[in-house]
Amino acid sequence: MKSTALLSMTGQSIWLDNITRKLLDSGQLAQWIRDLSVVGLTSNPSIFEKAVTGSSDYDTQVSALAAKGLPAEQVFFECAITDLTRACDLFRGVHERTGGLDGWVSLEVSPLLANDTKATLAQARELHAKAGRPNLYIKVPGTPEGIPAIEELTFAGISVNVTLLFSPEHCRAAAEAYMRGLERRLAAKLPLGVVSGVASLFVSRWDRKTAPKLPANLKNTVGVAVCRKCYSEYCALYSSDRWLALEAAGARTQRLLFASTSTKDPSLSPTLYVQALAAPRTVNTMPEETLLAVSRGMDLPTVLAPTDRSWQATLDAVTKAGIDLDRCSAELQIEGRDAFDKSWKELIGAIEGKTAALAR
């Protein structure tokens, strides 16, 4: 049995953290769906920046759209929606077979809107309508300004992937927004089961940020410990009376999704975060290299339980070593937002450059 199949049997869904036109055209994505238990896909500005600038696959469409006088941002979204709706269609069978649990594909709003609730709402609604697929998540950052948008979109019946979460507090805010949106739907006598959601918790960036400041025995332990704490709180929240009342009315859980699960330190096993965070009713979205490393063989010594408290001693020791976890989580969210902003600007600049070059 492949390790990917074994992992999926624990109750964790495997999603791919990548999209390129080549993946679609070559049949590679379809093969991974068939052979490696891949049941969903996520994307972000950095992924699309690499896809568009790293190949000529988008040149024809970019040129045709630019010839219509479309601005670079609109050109990008047209290209992204072309790819992601194709991916949605590939995953439609998974979506139907799992009753809407899996088979999701994510499209992110412009990261430049991360601090603008009103503009985030407007663009999310526009993109969702334009894609016209029942298994498309709109990806919204879990920044303070993004949280109200998540509530409003949930109330409107638009399923959301909340991104840029780094701490239990971030995850709690995302879950609260989701539940408030569902409670408003319930009060308005609107169906709850048509809305879904995931909360994307980033793992490896914790270790990249803290490892240089920690003694050897604590390096590369923070990401897993923080995520395990978040999982513990996630299990408690979704067994609460408040949630059970919504579930009884037909609501779906906002599943915890482990993102940024590739190891950045070459001395570490490429499957470290996957092995440490196998947990029921969650998602792990993996870059290609991590997915392939898992498929080649991976031990799975344990599966997380709601009662797991292994994180407590690690986080206590890390705090004692001088790491302010609250401050780090706030900084990580800002740094993540800024990194996506940078990739976005580079992407738009690359599209403008391609447009000019193709016109010549």
Range 329-333, long-range pairs (CB < 8 A, 24+ positions): 329/166, 329/167, 329/169, 329/170, 329/226, 331/209, 332/166, 332/202, 332/205, 332/206, 332/209, 333/142, 333/143, 333/164, 333/165, 333/166, 333/170
Residue 4: φ, ψ to 5°: -65, -40
Amino acid at 34: R
> DSSP secondary structure string, 68-117?
TT--HHHHHHHHHHHHHHHHHHHHHHHHHHTTTSS--EEEEPPGGGTT-H
Neighbouring C-beta atoms of residue 218, cutoff 10 Å: 18
CA proximity to 131, closest of 153, 161, 108, 163: 108
Q: Is 266 left (phi over 0), alpha (psi -120 to 50) or beta?
A: alpha
Active site residue 139: yes
What does the DSSP 8-state code read for residue 285? E
The span from the CA of 195 to the CA of 159, in Å, is 5
CB atoms closer than 10 angstroms to residue 61: 15
Report the alpha-carbon distance of residue 263 to residue 274 in Å, rounded: 10
Fill in the amino acid letter for 257: L
**CA pair distance 259, 17, nearest whole angstrom:** 8
DSSP string over 154-172: HHTT--EEEEEE-SHHHHH
Tokens coding 100? 């809407």
C-alpha span between 284 and 232 (Å, rounded): 16
Q: Which residue is catalytic, options 50, 118, 139, 345?
A: 139
Which residues are catalytically annotated? 139
